Amino acid sequence: MPVTTAAGEPSTDRVPGRIWTVRLTGHADRTAAVTCSTTACRMPPRSRDLAGLRAFAAQHAAAHARVATVHANARCHCGFTQCAAHPDTPAHCAGGVALILQHDPVVGRVWTLEEVCEACAPLIPNARILARAARPPRASQRRDGQVPAPQLPASARLGIPGGFSSPTAQPAEDETRQPHRPRRTSRAARPAQRRGQGQGR
C-alpha cells in the first residue's frame, strides 16, 4: 500500500520531477559494479558476487525511496521525456504526483525511481507506486471567518486510559449515569459471633 508524504507547505512553483537510477553493470572479467545517479552515494567495489551486488542495488534504491519526500508541485518526469516509457499508450499528464519504482525482474539490472503524474504511473511497464504527494488540506472556516478548533475524539476526552486517574480527568459518561449500588458483604467477611453469645450453655 503506497504511503503518503508531504513537506509542510509545498511551493506553488513547479519544479522538475526527480529521477534516481541504480544500475548493475557487468564487465569482461566477469565482475560487476553498482552505480547510482546520485554521485554522493558510496558504492561497493567491483565484485564477482552478482547476487550480493544485486541485493545491494535493490536495497539502495529502497533507501532512496524511504528518504525522498514527494514534491506535490513536481512536473511529471515521464511527460518530460515525452512519455517514452509508454509510447504505445499516450496519456495527458494529470492528477497528483507519485513516486514510482520501475524495475524489470527478468533483466534485474536497473532500478529507477521517478516522480511522475498519476496518469502516467499505471502505464509505465514494471512500475509500482511507492508513495504519493499529499495535497494540502483545506481548512474549513465558519461564516465569521474563524477556523473552528479541532475536536478531539470521544475516547480522548474521557480521561486517562489504562485505569489511571488524574485530578483533572473527568469521569466517563457511562459511569455518571450508573446509580451507586452499595456493596454486599459476603458471609465470610462478617465477624463471627462468639459461641454462646445470648444463649445459655
pLDDT (0 to 100) of residue 103: 97
Q: Which value, in Å, is the radius of gyration of the alpha carbons in the chain?
A: 32
pTM: 0.62
Question: Residue 47 CB: number of other CB atoms within 10 A?
Answer: 13
CB-based contacts of 125: which residues, under 8 Å, 6+ apart?
85, 86, 102, 104
pLDDT (0 to 100) of residue 137: 61
Closest CA to 134 of 35, 8, 1: 8
Question: Residue 158 CB: number of other CB atoms within 10 A?
Answer: 16
User: pLDDT tens track of the chain, all 201 residues?
Assistant: 444 444 444 456 889 999 999 999 999 999 999 999 999 999 999 999 999 999 999 999 999 999 999 999 999 999 999 999 999 998 999 999 999 999 999 999 999 999 999 999 999 999 999 999 987 665 444 455 544 443 333 333 333 233 222 333 333 333 334 444 555 554 544 554 545 454 444
Closest CA to 68 of 133, 12, 126: 133
DSSP labels for 5-20? E--SS--SS-BPPPEE
For the chain, what's the residue count?
Answer: 201
Distance of CA 180 to the CA centre of its chain: 47
DSSP labels for 43-76? -PPPBS-HHHHHHHHHHHHHHHHHHPPPPTTBPP
3-5 and 127-133 strand pairing: parallel
The C-alpha angle 140, 141, 145, rounded to 5 degrees, equals 165
CA distances from 6 to 30, 102, 130, 131, 176 (A): 43, 22, 14, 10, 43
